[in-house]
A = this chain, B = another copy of it.
Amino acid sequence: MKKKTEKTTAETIAQGCIAGRMRLLNRVVTRTYDDALRPLGIKTSQLNILVVTAGLGLARPAEISSRLKMEISTVSRNVDRMRAQGWVEVVEDEQDARAHKLRLSGKGKRLLEKAKPAWDKAQAIVKELLGRDGVQAIMSGAESAGATV
């Protein structure tokens, strides 16, 4: 007769929770990028909003929200801080009085270029940490989750 080793609920969750591991990994990875970016005065979250905005040229907050799968209220507050830094500017929408668009300022563009080497450094550290397959899994997982490039 096979002896079955019972696992407690706590053990099952502690060892198997995908969210727990994902959140842990997120803390470690974000810390790596934040450390590298700190001298530039920008945080990982802000840099990611910055590059999406840059990619769109003129970006509606709702579009940023949708691409980053981030609550629009969160976008709103992050953008507030980025505007306060002078990295992004608001352009009123001609057609729709509710809406507006965001674009990078000159300062924002310059910051982006200055931040690239720091980002490269963090990126290399994390690639080393996760390995080729790990990186690939994150990328395709994010795509499954609805990430738009």
Contacts and interface: CB of A to CB of B under 8 A. Distances in A.
Given A9-B112, A13-B47, A137 B145 contact: no
Contact of A10 (B16, B44, B55): B55
Interface stretch (A83-91, A92-100, A125-133): A125-133
Interface in A115-149: 116, 119, 122-123, 126-127, 129-131, 133-142, 144-147, 149
A22 interface: yes
Instruction: Report whether over half of chain A's contact residues are helix, strand or loop; otherwise say mixed.
Output: helix
A57 to B, nearest CB: 10
A69 interface: yes
Contacts of A10: 50-51, 54-55, 112
Closest 4 CB pairs of A and B: A137-B137, A10-B54, A21-B142, A28-B145
Given A13-B48, A13-B51, 12 more contacts: A9-B116, A14-B149, A16-B123, A17-B47, A17-B123, A18-B138, A20-B47, A22-B30, A24-B69, A24-B147, A25-B142, A26-B26
